[in-house]
Structures are given as structure tokens and as C-alpha cells.
């Protein structure tokens, strides 16, 4: 059909030239036509015939030949991306700003350092412009020494609280080796990360005995969208933030302390009033997240996202709208149940089991593949 259209167009061009010449000269000898008017009518007839037949020749494009929508940097530049990296029972959030700046809040456990460093590399990070260790617990700062070793680092913020653990010491050693300095994290600090964003530190408001309450809490605003990162801040710190009168309202709340009962007090949750809640949680013996917290979030119709259910969780904001590609947990639970039904014959508890069975890596669709095993969400589990 395409060839027919080409022939038709060529014919039209030839005829147009010939008929225009005919109008100018007053005759079209080879057709035996005499007179300008006759030539003009012939030209018009030719266009009408072409139009009618041409319409019939417009072939709907075969869908398989349509260029796929390219989900590339072009459509994403100018957006804010917030990654809640799946580090199991721990916390790590990577923020990629509209102007290409990078902020990393926490880096998971020591064992996760390779995962975090690779995740950043895969995202094209060369420099971490702002690095925040919310508080010195191993499940937050464990992987940060490797991040400091592997990347250029701009500013580092950590609260004024020390710990005599090896993990904490090794982070301080990495920082000292690069002659970097640490700024004390406390409420009221404005972090200059990207001109299009406001990044404010809302806690710690006071000094606390408890390390969790010393957690740096950060609110990031881009246009009309906002994100609140809470570390392991507990009710006491939350109460001080509420009392300080600071604007806590945020679209996305990182649920404090992995969904422990010690955090997310009702008054704090009411003040934040989020649409989405993210729980950074993995296999644990603490009962995180607790039923009370889950119910409290569900009662307010907040959509819940969890690393133990969805792997890495990524939010994108254009300053007006937030999009999230994974489903919230209730929907995910249903789909996992369906997957299990289809694949009841093959089930792997973890990647060790997959490797022992000699089946690693598992690709999406393989028997036994599950999103739980595919923590980086690239469709390949237990790489």
C-alpha cells in the first residue's frame, strides 16, 4: 500500500507540473486539450481525485512498528526523584534533584554498603552533594563509610551524638581520610541543595538522651510537593516538632523508626497529614511495622509502601504532581497471592535457597521468581 501512495504522489507531481504548464501555454498537447480554462479544470479534477483516493490509502500504522515511548532522561530531567532504597531492615533515601544534584540520607547496614554504592552508580551519581547520617545507629550509617570512600562528597550533616561502635568509627575514619568536615544537624538549618528546592532540617529541636530522638529530620519541598524524612525520631522529638509550630505538612511521609510504636504519634501524623507513607522495613524481630501504625495509617486512608513488599520505592515529582510506579501494599498483597497460586510448585525462601538449587539468577516469569527476591526491581532476582 505504501508503494501505491508513492506512485500516486509522483503522478500528482507530474500531472500538476504538466497542467500548470498547460494553463500557462494554453494547451496540453499530448492530451489534446486546448485552452487555459480546460487545463485549470483538469488540474482541479486531478487534485480532487487524488484527495479521494489518497484518503483510502492512509493506512493505520501497524502497532508493532510504532516507536515505543522512550522512558529516558529527556522526559525526566527537571523532575525530582526520591528513592527509598531497599536495604532490608534499615534506611536509605536517595534524592536526585531537578538540576541534577544528589542528596543521600542514611546508607543502610554495613552489609548493605555494596548495594547502596552500586545503586548510586547505577543512577549515574558521581558526587553526593549532601550526605546526611540521621543518627549513629548501624542500620542507618552502616553503609555510609563505603559511600564516602567511593564518591566525591559535598556537605555532611550528622547530629551531635557519638557512638563507640566500630561502624561509627569507620565512618569517621572515612570522613577524616578525605579531609571532610561534619556540620552538626539540628532544627533550623537550611540546606542549599538545588535552587528549585527548599530543604529544611526540622529536628532535632532539642538535645535528647535517646539517640533515636537525636535523628535529623528533613523536609524537602519542590513546588507544591513535599517529602518528610524522619530517621528514627520518636514521639518526644515529634512532639517538639509539633510544638515548634514549623510546617510539617508533607505529601510523602517516611514513617519514623521503621513503623515502630515508639514513633508516628497521632498528633504528629495529623500535622504531617500525608497522602503516601513509606515504611523502610525488612525481616526483623522487632515486630516492625506494628499493627497499630498500619491501622493508624489506614484509618487516614494513607497509601502505604513498604520495602519488604515492593523492593525499591521511587517517587517522581514535577513540582505539581507526584507519581509512584509500584502499587501500594494492599494491591501488592493480592497480586503476590495470585502469583503464589500460579507457582505453588516452586517457592524459594531467599536467594541462598535459589543458589543452592542452582537456579540463580531468576528472571521475571521464571518459576520461583518473586519481587521479594528481586530487591533492585530490575526483573532479575538473586544476581
Please report, as ranges, the residues that interact with Zn ion according to CB under 5 A.
Answer: 139, 232
Quote the least distance from Cβ 258 to Zn ion, whole Å: 6
CB closer to Zn ion, 129 vs 139:
139
CB closer to Zn ion, 101 vs 258:
258
Task: Give CA 142 to chain center in angstroms.
Answer: 23
CB closer to Zn ion, 22 vs 107:
107
CB closer to Zn ion, 232 vs 234:
232
Residues 94/85, Cβ–Cβ less than 8 Å: yes
Beta strands in 85-213 (DSSP E): 93-96, 102-105, 127-132, 152-158, 182-184, 190-191, 197-203
Quote the least distance from Cβ 369 to Zn ion, whole Å: 29
CA separation for the pair 176, 156 (Å, rounded): 12
Quote the least distance from Cβ 326 to Zn ion, whole Å: 22
3-state secondary structure of 20: helix
Biggest alpha carbon distance in the chain?
106
Could you count the other beta carbons within 10 Å of the beta carbon of residue 272? 25
* 253, three cell numbers: 511521609
Quote the least distance from Cβ 293 to Zn ion, whole Å: 14
Quote the least distance from Cβ 260 to Zn ion, whole Å: 9
CB closer to Zn ion, 92 vs 97:
92
Sort strands 152-158 and 127-132 into parallel, antiparallel or unpaired: parallel
Strand-pairing partners, residue 34, are 27
Amino acid at each position: 500500500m505504501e508503494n501505491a501512495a508513492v506512485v500516486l504522489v509522483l503522478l500528482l507531481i507530474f500531472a500538476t507540473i504538466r497542467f500548470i504548464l498547460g494553463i500557462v501555454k494554453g494547451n496540453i498537447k499530448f492530451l489534446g486539450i486546448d485552452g487555459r480554462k480546460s487545463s485549470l479544470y483538469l488540474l482541479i479534477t486531478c487534485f480532487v481525485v487524488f484527495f479521494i483516493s489518497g484518503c483510502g490509502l492512509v493506512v493505520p500504522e501497524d502497532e508493532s512498528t510504532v516507536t515505543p515511548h522512550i522512558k529516558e532522561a529527556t522526559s525526566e530531567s527537571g523532575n525530582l526523584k526520591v528513592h527509598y532504597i531497599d536495604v532490608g531492615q534499615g534506611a536509605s533515601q536517595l534524592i536526585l534533584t531537578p538540576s541534577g544534584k544528589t542528596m543521600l540520607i542514611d546508607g543502610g547496614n554495613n552489609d548493605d554498603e555494596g548495594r547502596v554504592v552500586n545503586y548510586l552508580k547505577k543512577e549515574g551519581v558521581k558526587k553526593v552533594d549532601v550526605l546526611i547520617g540521621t543518627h549513629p545507629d548501624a542500620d542507618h550509617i552502616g553503609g555510609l563509610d563505603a559511600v564516602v570512600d567511593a564518591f566525591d562528597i559535598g556537605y555532611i550533616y550528622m547530629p551531635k551524638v557519638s557512638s563507640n561502635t566500630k561502624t561509627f568509627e569507620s565512618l569517621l575514619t572515612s570522613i577524616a581520610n578525605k579531609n571532610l568536615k561534619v556540620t552538626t544537624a539540628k532544627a533550623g538549618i537550611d540546606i542549599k541543595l538545588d535552587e528549585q528546592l527548599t530543604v529544611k532540617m526540622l529536628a532535632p529541636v532539642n538535645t535528647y538522651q535517646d539517640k533515636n530522638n537525636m535523628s535529623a529530620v528533613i523536609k524537602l519541598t519542590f513546588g507544591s510537593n513535599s517529602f518528610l524524612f524522619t530517621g528514627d525520631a520518636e514521639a518526644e522529638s515529634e512532639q517538639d516538632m509539633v510544638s515548634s509550630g514549623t510546617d510539617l505538612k508533607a505529601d510523602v511521609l517516611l514513617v519514623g523508626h521503621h513503623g515502630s510504636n515508639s514513633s508516628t504519634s497521632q498528633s504528629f501524623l495529623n500535622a504531617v497529614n500525608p497522602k503516601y507513607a513509606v515504611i523502610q522495613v525488612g525481616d526483623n524481630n522487632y515486630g516492625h511495622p506494628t499493627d497499630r501504625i498500619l491501622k493508624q495509617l489506614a484509618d487516614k486512608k494513607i497509601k502505604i509502601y513498604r520495602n519488604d513488599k515492593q523492593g525499591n520505592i521511587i517517587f517522581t515529582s514535577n513540582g505539581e504532581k507526584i507519581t509512584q510506579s509500584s502499587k501500594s501494599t494492599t494491591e501488592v498483597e493480592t497480586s503476590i497471592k495470585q502469583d503464589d497460586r500460579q507457582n505453588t510448585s516452586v517457592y524459594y525462601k531467599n536467594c541462598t535457597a535459589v543458589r543452592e538449587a542452582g537456579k540463580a539468577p531468576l528472571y521475571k516469569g521464571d518459576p520461583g521468581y518473586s519481587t521479594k527476591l528481586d530487591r533492585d526491581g530490575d526483573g532479575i532476582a538473586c544476581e
